[in-house]
Chain A
Amino acid sequence: MNKTLLGYVPNQSPIYAIHPFVKLYFLLVVSLFPLFIADPVWNILLMAVIVILMWYSRVNMRTLRIYVPIAISMGTIILISYTVLGGTHPEYSLIFQPLGINIYWERIRDAIVVYFRILPMIFTMVFFLSTSRERDMIVAMRSVKVPFVITYVFAMALRAAGMVLEDFQIVRQAEQARGFDTTGKSIGYKIRKYVMYMIPLFALSLRRSEEFTNALIARGYAFTGEASKVKRADYILTHYPFKTYDFILIALISLFFVTLLVLRYGFGFFSVDQSLLINFLRSLLVR
Chain B
Amino acid sequence: MPAVIEIHNYSWQYLNTDTPALKEINLQVEEGVFLGIIGPNGSGKTSLAYSLNGLIPGQYHGIKHGTVTVLGKEVEQYGRGELQQQVGVVFSDPEAQFTAMTVEDELVFGMENLGMTIPEIRERLEWVTELAQLGPLLTKPPYEISGGQKQRVALAAVLAMTPRIMVLDEPTSMLDPISRKRVFDVLQELKKEQNNTIIVIEHSLENLIPLADRMVLLSGGSLILEEETHAFFQNSDLLLEHGITPPGAVLFFQKLVRDGLYQGLLPLTVKEAAKNIEELFIREQGDKA
Contacts and interface: CB of A to CB of B under 8 A. Distances in A.
A185 interface: no
Contacts of B108: 235-236
A159 B105 CA distance: 12
A133 interface: yes
Contacts of B53: 217-218
Interface string A147-175: 00000000110110011001000000000
Contacts of A232: 112-113, 115
B115 A228 contact: yes
Contact of A236 (B95, B104, B157): B104
Given A162-B143, A227-B113, A218 B118 contact: no
A238 B142 CA distance: 21
A213 interface: yes
A227 B53 CA distance: 14
A178 interface: no
B210 interface: no
Contacts of A227: 80-81, 84, 113-114
B97 interface: yes
Nearest to B109: A219
A219 B96 contact: no
A218 B50 CA distance: 10
B79 A226 contact: yes
A155 B98 CA distance: 11
A75 B252 CA distance: 75
Interface in A224-275: 224, 226-236, 238
B161 interface: yes
- Most central of A5, A214, A221 by chain B CB within 10 Å: A214
Nearest to B157: A219
A228 B113 contact: yes
Contact of B96 (A138, A215, A233): A215
A228 B112 CA distance: 9
Given A166-B143, A211-B96, A233 B113 contact: no
A208 B93 CA distance: 9
Interface residues of B, number: 47
Contacts of B113: 219-222, 227-228, 232
A85 interface: no
Contact of A235 (B50, B59, B122, B141): B122
- Most central of A5, A227, A229, A234 by chain B CB within 10 Å: A227
B158 A217 contact: no
B63 interface: no
Nearest to A133: B141
Contacts of B99: 156, 159, 212, 215-216, 219, 221
A4 interface: yes
Given A135-B105, A211-B97, A233-B115, 20 more contacts: A4-B141, A5-B143, A135-B101, A158-B101, A159-B99, A163-B95, A211-B91, A211-B96, A216-B99, A218-B88, A218-B91, A220-B84, A220-B161, A221-B81, A226-B81, A227-B81, A229-B115, A232-B112, A232-B115, A236-B105
Interface of A: 2-5, 133-135, 138, 155-156, 158-159, 162-163, 166, 208, 211-222, 224, 226-236, 238
24 contacts: A133-B101, A133-B141, A138-B101, A138-B105, A155-B101, A159-B142, A162-B142, A163-B95, A208-B96, A214-B55, A217-B84, A219-B109, A220-B161, A221-B99, A222-B81, A226-B80, A231-B115, A233-B116, A233-B117, A233-B121, A235-B118, A235-B125, A236-B104, A236-B108
